[in-house]
Amino acid sequence: MKHTSKLFTLLALFTLLPTAAHAATPMHVVSAGDTLSKIARENQTTVGLLMQVNHLETDQLSIGQTLSLPEAGLSDSAVDAAPPDLVENSDGSSHVEAEEITAGEKARVAVDVLNVRKKPSIDAKVLGKLRFGSLVEVLETGSEWTKIEYEDDEAYVATSYLSAKLSAVPETSGKVDEASLERLEAIFQPLLKTPYILGGTTPNGFDCSGFTAYVFNQLGVTLPRTSEEQFKGGQAIPLDEAQPGDLLFYDALGKGHVSHVAIYLGNGTIVHASGEDVRYGKVEYMHKLYPFYGVKRYQ
């Protein structure tokens, strides 16, 4: 009886093991050929989030290294045609003001992440995802789905989440130097999708402060090299008074000091080297992810 009792105890323990493993934080063991970008792509997250949750200071990995994967709630949520209560931006909104999209012209993605589908249906295969601010070539328009050019082929995205406004910089309340704003846009526009490279300072690859330093250098302003040093300089500005061209600072590595910088564009929009590439972003989303340290203005 004692042997039988022990056997049942062991069987019960083995039965519980899968449940316990399932409840644990998802992990990834680094193998040959792995990079942070590859791991982020395979797990539908970002390099920045991987670095944050694992407290990484560089993008160098070792074979056998164990990485915690970000919780699903920290990832960007891709959207396409669906009931409004199932679709959200990272700021919690679920509506994009209707605008007339014209075939043969370009449009911009107006939500954080937008699914690209093989066919005009939410049941169709997802070919990829487009980030907020991405520019697309419109081939055909429809009330629910728009056909676009995607990777030298045709694909579909939900019409509701495209904007006909081509200006990369949204309209901004308050007094703004429009000439300076256009000049800023002309500098960073060609740099969108430039890959993230730790220590990068050129159009071949940027880290966050390398990107801001490069853009400001084109404007004739010299910035310190790192985000922490950039935060120590400049004029402090309240967030509600931020203007396009001001710098926003965050602790993206959870180390208790500034480790990320972005350029503010107005109306809650930023452009930055995100940890994966140079892209648009939203202040509201950044504030949900990282401690905010403040705004600085360089002139």
CATH 3.10.350.10 fits 2-74, yes or no: yes
- pLDDT tens per residue, range 30-80: 888 787 767 876 776 766 667 766 666 556 677 888 888 876 544 444 555
Average pLDDT over residues 25-29: 79
Tell me which residue has tokens 């880290």: 207
pLDDT in tens, 54-66: 666 556 677 888 8
Threshold 0.75, pTM exceeds: no
- Residue 116 in contact with residue 129, Cβ under 8 Å? yes
* Pairing mode of beta strands 106-109, 66-68: unpaired
Q: How far apart are CA 148 and CA 291, in angstroms?
A: 37
Residue of 132, 211, 214, 215 whose CA lies nearest to 180 = 215
240-279 confidence digits (pLDDT tens)? 899 889 999 999 888 889 999 999 988 788 999 988 889 9
Domain residue ranges of the chain, discontinuous segments joined by +: 2-74, 78-163, 178-297
Query: At 222, is the pLDDT very low, low, confident or very high (cuts 50, 70, 90)?
Result: very high
What is 178-297's CATH number?
3.90.1720.10
pLDDT at 90 over 70: no
- SS3 state at 54: coil
Residue 295 CA: distances (Å) to CA of 148, 246, 280: 38, 7, 18
* Nearest-5° Cα angle at 109, 90 to 134: 105
State the architecture of 78-163 in CATH terms. Roll (2.30)
